[in-house]
Every structure is written in structure tokens, then in C-alpha cells.
């Protein structure tokens, strides 16, 4: 395969690869220019296929990764600039491997499919490794406002990501030699992609067996980096104050009385069981509302010097009767990998505090409401959203209503909040469920099963309200079979790349043989 960039100076290709990364990132929130993601991915392939050596292809992939993640994850600098640089530098290594895989794929006539498979393999890997993975910037998340998002309930995030990558490879293939025949093939590929995605429009939300009235409270936070939660108990104090305002509106008849109220993740930044003042604040809110509150809390094991981020179903008279412990915990944010080795070298990591311990059970709790009715409440906490298996098994374990609790006070004013909301929209489409999002300081909101936004708050404010959520049953093909489908795509992708290696060797052997006989 001969790229139109062949013969260009390596510096030109490196610059174009980095620029392609930047262009790809512009397709993600907060920018949301999703066609640019397809163009940027195509740009990477064009650059890589022009490389003369595998080492050069890997270097171009790394340059792409630096541009892509440098822009896409620039919100990390509000914590520490060093943290952002380190994360980008490490995660870009996966794109170096991707560059090499795309170069291998380019040895065959079917390289666009094999290169798309390379993207799926790469995303599968960095969403799981190292330290549990960091699958934040996946192609499927950039497509939430595109026709390809129609396919989320059938194909899942991984499947939509594969189709996105495949369209990008066809665009790169067309760029090699524009002709009427190739234009027709690309047009056919685009039509097929939209047609397959449109199958998701046939998947409707699960049958409703009733409704719940749910209150939500976004108390507000100072915001601004590591100390965005403010002084101890600030968040809890704000939550109580906004809960009181909510109750005033309910008692005035402006809003219906809910079945329960949801507070965000870290709505108690101190352990309410060991810190008397925090526990008293929570109890004051319970006494005021006389309703159960789903409290996002941090509980500490002082003896083991660990903690857990949990959702506590807190009844005003019975106390805590159910809980879910967050399973997706952020490396270097909620725990420090290789702590004994890294902490002496990077003292700044001490700000993380005691290591968080991940939960082990699906996020489904089954509380009894005041009217005696039980409901299977699906609870997803913040970074849980990035993990397919965590979201999917919440639903396959019977969740009838979905709520997302999050604490992003540290990232106020950055693109992280918009990116997380976009991921949540993808999950709503994937599951065909309403999703209530409740955060400390923004963005809270209600997302419909088709991914549209019923309402959302703005950053840097306090807010509260009451919403009606249908109680639904069942799961979509993406939820039930998504992990299996992704694994099959990875296996087929690996098979295609192995075949590319052998095809390349055979083609080289035939060329050498022809030269000898000539």
C-alpha cells in the first residue's frame, strides 16, 4: 500500500499525526464536532501507512496519542499539571501500539477492516490495563449526537467505536486514490454503517410497571482542583441547605412529594459514622424530609488506613438499610498503585489520602419505600460509567431505575464534566433507560432513553427538584451480549492482523522470487 504521504519528510508526518490527534479530540465533548473524530482517525492511518518502518509507525501513533489525549484530557491539569503530563505520556503508548497494528493491517487489500479491528483491540486493552484501565476516550462516546449512536442499544459502545473506526479507514483508503469506484465503495460503506446503526431504533425502552417520584439535590461546591470540595463538611452543609429549600418548595405545593431523595457522590466528605458533626447533618436532613435519602458517602477503615466510596440508603427511622460500594475507582485519584515505590518519588501523590477499596457487588439495592413497595434501584457512581461490565451487570441484575451519583467539584469549569455527561448519555442510549444524574456541583440532569436531555443544571450552582422515573424491566442486546460481542470483535481483529502478517510475508516472498527470476 502506497500512501499519499509517502516520500514526505518524517517531520511532516509527525506533525500531521499529532494534528490528527487534536482533530480527533475535537469530536469529543465539550467540543462535540463528531465528524472530526472520523477525519482525525483517517489522518492517523494515512500517516502510519506512509511510514517506511514499523518503528516509525509506532512513533507516529505516539504523536497522535499525545495530540489526542493532550487536548482530550487537558482537564487533568486542574489537579496537577504533572499528573496530566504523566497520564498522557503513559496512555499515548497504547496509540504507539495502535500505529504499529495499523501498519501491519496495511499489508493487505482488506486493511480498512483490519485497521478498524486494531482500534477495537486497542480500546479493549486500555480500558482494562494497567491498574484497571482508563477507557475514558473511546470512539463510541464521541458519536452520541451522530446517526451512529442509533446503534448503541444493539452494538454497544465498542461496536459503535468499531463502525466509527471502519468509516475512518474507508475515508483514508479513498484519500489514497480518489476514483469513481472507490467513492462508490465508501458511499456503500457509509450507507451500510447507518443501516446497521438504524437497527437500534427498533429497540424500545423496556416495559414500565409503574413510576417513582424521585427528589434530587445538587448542593454546590467551591470547586477548583484538589481542594474543590472545600473545607471539611462544606459539601454536607450545602446538601442540607439545598435539601431544606427543596422541602420548602414541596410543602408549598410547587413540587410533588417524592418517594425518596438522591444526594451525590461524596455528599458527606467525612465518614458520617465516625464524625459526629457529619452524622448530625445527615440526620437533620432526614428529620426534615421524613424520607429515605440515598447518601453518597466516604466511609473509613482507620485500622487498615483505607476507605470506600459508598451509596447508603438511609431511612429516617431505621438508619442505613442498604448500600452499594463503588467498583470503578480512579488510579492516582482514589488510590495510588505501587504506593510504597511511588510515594517517596512523587510526594504530591499524598493528596490522594488513604487508598479506596473497590466494591465487589453489582450496583443494585432493593429498598422498601414508605408505601411498602420495593424497587430494584440501580446505582452507578461516577467513574463506574467508564466500565462496560459495571454498567451492564447493574442492569442484568435487575435494576429497574437508574441513578448516577457523581462528585466533580474538582473539575468545575473544565471539559471533564461535559465528557462524563456525554458518557452517561451513551449509557442511557445503550440501555434504553432514563438516567437521573446527581452531582455535587454540575452537571445534574435527566437523560431520556434515546439520549436526549430532559433537563440539566449548569456548573457552579446549587439546584434541586423532583422527577418522575418509570420502573422498567428488561435489557437491550448491547447490555446482555455487549461484552461477548466486544470479545468476538477483538478475536476477529487479532485473526485479521495475524492474517495480515502472513499475507505481507507471502507478498514479499513472491516479489523477491520474481526479482531473482528476472
Same domain, 188 and 298: no
Q: Which of 432, 496, 503, 502 is nearest to 162 (CA)?
A: 496
Cell of 509: 516472498
Q: How far apart are CA 173 and CA 114, in angstroms?
A: 13
Tell me, what's the pLDDT at 515? Answer: 46
Cell of 325: 460500594
**pLDDT of residue 435 exceeding 50:** yes
CATH assignment at residue 461: 3.60.110.10
Same domain, 485 and 440: no
3-state helix, strand, coil in the chain (%, to 5): 55, 15, 30
Q: How far apart are CA 418 and CA 453, in angstroms?
A: 13
Same domain, 388 and 255: yes
Question: 515 or 454: whose pLDDT is higher?
Answer: 454
Residue 37 belongs to domain spanning: 10-203+479-517
Question: Are β-strands 364-365 and 355-356 bridged in parallel, bridged antiparallel, or unpaired?
Answer: unpaired
Domain count, the chain: 2
Average pLDDT, the chain: 92
Same domain, 317 and 422: yes
Confirm whether 106 is domain-assigned: yes
Same domain, 194 and 222: no
CB burial of 380-418 (b: ≥16 within 10 Å; e: otherwise) equals bbbbbbbbbbbbbbbbeeebbbbbbbbbbbbbbebbbbb
Tell me, what's the pLDDT at 1? Answer: 45
Confirm whether 512 is domain-assigned: yes
Question: 477 or 302: whose pLDDT is higher?
Answer: 477
Confirm whether 2 is domain-assigned: no
Confirm whether 25 is domain-assigned: yes
Question: 157 or 509: whose pLDDT is higher?
Answer: 157
Categorize the per-residue pLDDT at 378 as very low, low, confident or very high, splitting at 50, 70 and 90: very high
Q: Using CB atoms within 10 A of its CB, is residue 441 exposed (0-12), middle (13-18) or buried (19+)? A: buried
Q: How far apart are CA 477 and CA 334, in angstroms?
A: 33
Same domain, 47 and 103: yes
Categorize the per-residue pLDDT at 339 as very low, low, confident or very high, splitting at 50, 70 and 90: confident
**pLDDT of residue 348 exceeding 80:** no
Categorize the per-residue pLDDT at 84 as very low, low, confident or very high, splitting at 50, 70 and 90: confident
pLDDT tens column, 134-176: 999 999 999 999 999 999 999 999 999 999 999 999 999 999 8
Confirm whether 4 is domain-assigned: no
Same domain, 320 and 420: yes
**Average pLDDT of the segment spanning 492-508:** 81
**Average pLDDT of the segment spanning 208-215:** 95
pLDDT tens column, 22-81: 999 999 999 999 999 999 999 999 999 999 899 999 999 999 999 999 999 999 888 788
Q: Using CB atoms within 10 A of its CB, is residue 102 exposed (0-12), middle (13-18) or buried (19+)? A: buried
Same domain, 367 and 420: yes
Same domain, 303 and 380: yes
Q: How far apart are CA 201 and CA 459, in angstroms?
A: 32
Confirm whether 184 is domain-assigned: yes
Residues 6+ apart with CB under 8 A from 499: 108, 114
Confirm whether 5 is domain-assigned: no
Same domain, 34 and 91: yes
Tell me, what's the pLDDT at 507? Answer: 56
Give the residues across from 211 on adjacent strands: 470
Tell me, what's the pLDDT at 297? Answer: 96
**pLDDT of residue 517 exceeding 70:** no
pLDDT tens column, 304-332: 889 999 999 999 999 999 999 999 998 88
- Whether the model clears a pTM of 0.85, i.e. scores above it, the answer is yes
Same domain, 221 and 105: no
Same domain, 459 and 510: no
**Average pLDDT of the segment spanning 276-287:** 97
Tell me, what's the pLDDT at 80? Answer: 80
Question: 460 or 168: whose pLDDT is higher?
Answer: 168
Amino acid at each position: 500500500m502506497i500512501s499519499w504521504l509517502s516520500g514526505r519528510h518524517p517531520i511532516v508526518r509527525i506533525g500531521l499525526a499529532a494534528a490528527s490527534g487534536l482533530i480527533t479530540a475535537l469530536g469529543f465533548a465539550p467540543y462535540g464536532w463528531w465528524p472530526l473524530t472520523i477525519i482525525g482517525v483517517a489522518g492517523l492511518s494515512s500517516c502510519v501507512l506512509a511510514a517506511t518502518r514499523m518503528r516509525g509507525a509506532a512513533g507516529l501513533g505516539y504523536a497522535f496519542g499525545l495530540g489526542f489525549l493532550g487536548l482530550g484530557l487537558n482537564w487533568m491539569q486542574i489537579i496537577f499539571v504533572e499528573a496530566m503530563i504523566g497520564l498522557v505520556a503513559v496512555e499515548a503508548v497504547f496509540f504507539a501500539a495502535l500505529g504499529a497494528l495499523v501498519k501491519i493491517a496495511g499489508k493487505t487489500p482488506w486493511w480498512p477492516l483490519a485497521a478498524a479491528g486494531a482500534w477495537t483491540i486497542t480500546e479493549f486493552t486500555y480500558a482494562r490495563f494497567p491498574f484497571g484501565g482508563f477507557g475514558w476516550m473511546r470512539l463510541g462516546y464521541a458519536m452520541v449526537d451522530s446517526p451512529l449512536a442509533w446503534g448503541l442499544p444493539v452494538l454497544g459502545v465498542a461496536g459503535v467505536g468499531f463502525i466509527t473506526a471502519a468509516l475512518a479507514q474507508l475515508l483514508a483508503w479513498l484519500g489514497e486514490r480518489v476514483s469513481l469506484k472507490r467513492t462508490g465503495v465508501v458511499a456503500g460503506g457509509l450507507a451500510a454503517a447507518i443501516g446497521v446503526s438504524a437497527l437500534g431504533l427498533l429497540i424500545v425502552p423496556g416495559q414500565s410497571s409503574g413510576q417513582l417520584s424521585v427528589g434530587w439535590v445538587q448542593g454546590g461546591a467551591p470547586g477548583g482542583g484538589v481542594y474543590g470540595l472545600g473545607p471539611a463538611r462544606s459539601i454536607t452543609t450545602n446538601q442540607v441547605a439545598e435539601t431544606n429549600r427543596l422541602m420548602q418548595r414541596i410543602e408549598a405545593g410547587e413540587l410533588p412529594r417524592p418517594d425518596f431523595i438522591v444526594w451525590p457522590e461524596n455528599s458527606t466528605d467525612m465518614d458520617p459514622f465516625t464524625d459526629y458533626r457529619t452524622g448530625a447533618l445527615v440526620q437533620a436532613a432526614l428529620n426534615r424530609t421524613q424520607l429515605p435519602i440515598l447518601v453518597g458517602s466516604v466511609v473509613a477503615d482507620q485500622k487498615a488506613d483505607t476507605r470506600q466510596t459508598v451509596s447508603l440508603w438511609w431511612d429516617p427511622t431505621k438508619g442505613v438499610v442498604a448500600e452499594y460500594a463503588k467498583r470503578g475507582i480512579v488510579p492516582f485519584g482514589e488510590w495510588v498503585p505501587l504506593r510504597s515505590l511511588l510515594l517517596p518519588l512523587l510526594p504530591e501523590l499524598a493528596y490522594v489520602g488513604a487508598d479506596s477499596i473497590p466494591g465487589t457487588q453489582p450496583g443494585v439495592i432493593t429498598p422498601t419505600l414508605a408505601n411498602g413497595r420495593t424497587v430494584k434501584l440501580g446505582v452507578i457512581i461516577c467513574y463506574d460509567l467508564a466500565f462496560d461490565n459495571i454498567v451492564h451487570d447493574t442492569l442484568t441484575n435487575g435494576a429497574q431505575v437508574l441513578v448516577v451519583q457523581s462528585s466533580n467539584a474538582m473539575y468545575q469549569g473544565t471539559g471533564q464534566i461535559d465528557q462524563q455527561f456525554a458518557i452517561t448519555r451513551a449509557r442511557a442510549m445503550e440501555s434504553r433507560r432514563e438516567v437521573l444524574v446527581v452531582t455535587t456541583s454540575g452537571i445534574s440532569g435527566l437523560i431520556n432513553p434515546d439520549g436526549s436531555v430532559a433537563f440539566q443544571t449548569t456548573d457552579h450552582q446549587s439546584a434541586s427538584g423532583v422527577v418522575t422515573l418509570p420502573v422498567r424491566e428488561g435489557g437491550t442486546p448491547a447490555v446482555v451480549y455487549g461484552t461477548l460481542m466486544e470479545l468476538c470483535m477483538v478475536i476477529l481483529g487479532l485473526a485479521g492482523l495475524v492474517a495480515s502478517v502472513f499475507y505481507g510475508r507471502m507478498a514479499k516472498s513472491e516479489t523477491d522470487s520474481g526479482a531473482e527470476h528476472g
